[in-house]
Amino acid sequence: MVSKDSPKHIAIIMDGNGRWAKERGLPRRKGHEAGADSVHAAIETCFKLEVSYLTLYAFSWENWSRPKAEIESLMILLEKYLTKKTPELVEKNVRLKAIGRLSHLPKRCQEALKNGIEKTKHNTGLTLVLALSYGGREEMVDVARTLAEKAVKGEIKPEEINSDLIQASLYDPELPDPDLLIRTSGEMRLSNFLLWQISYSEMVITKTLWPDFREDQFKEAVEEYFRRHRRFGKV
**Going by C-beta distance under 8 Å and a sequence separation of 6 or more, which residues neighbour residue 102?**
110, 113, 132, 133
Q: What is the pLDDT of residue 229?
A: 74
Domain residue extents for the chain: 9-135+178-226
DSSP 126: P
Q: What is the pLDDT of residue 109?
A: 98
Rounded to two decimals, what is the model's pTM? 0.94
pLDDT of 230 > 90? The answer is no
User: Hey, is 31 helix, strand or coil?
Assistant: helix
Q: What is the mean pLDDT of the chain?
A: 95
What's the pLDDT tens digit per position in 32-50?
999 999 999 999 999 999 9
Closest CA to 46 of 202, 180, 232: 180
- Whether pLDDT at 3 is above 70: no
* Stretch 9-13: mean pLDDT: 98
- Alpha helices (runs of H) in 50-190, residue ranges in sequence order: 68-91, 107-120, 136-152, 163-168
Tens digits of residue pLDDT in 186-207: 999 999 999 999 999 999 999 9
Left if phi > 0, otherwise alpha if psi is -120 to 50, otherwise beta: which for 147?
A: alpha
Residue 167: predicted pLDDT: 97
The catalytic site residues sit at 15, 63
CATH fit for domain 9-135+178-226, picks 3.40.1180.10, 3.40.50.970, 3.10.20.90, 3.40.640.10: 3.40.1180.10
Confidence of residue 233 (pLDDT cuts 50, 70, 90): low
Residue 208 has pLDDT above 80, yes or no: yes
- Can you tell me the distance from the alpha carbon of 74 to that of 69, in angstroms, rounded to the nearest whole number? 9
Residue 134 DSSP code: E
At residue 67 the predicted structure's pLDDT band, cuts being 50, 70 and 90, is very high
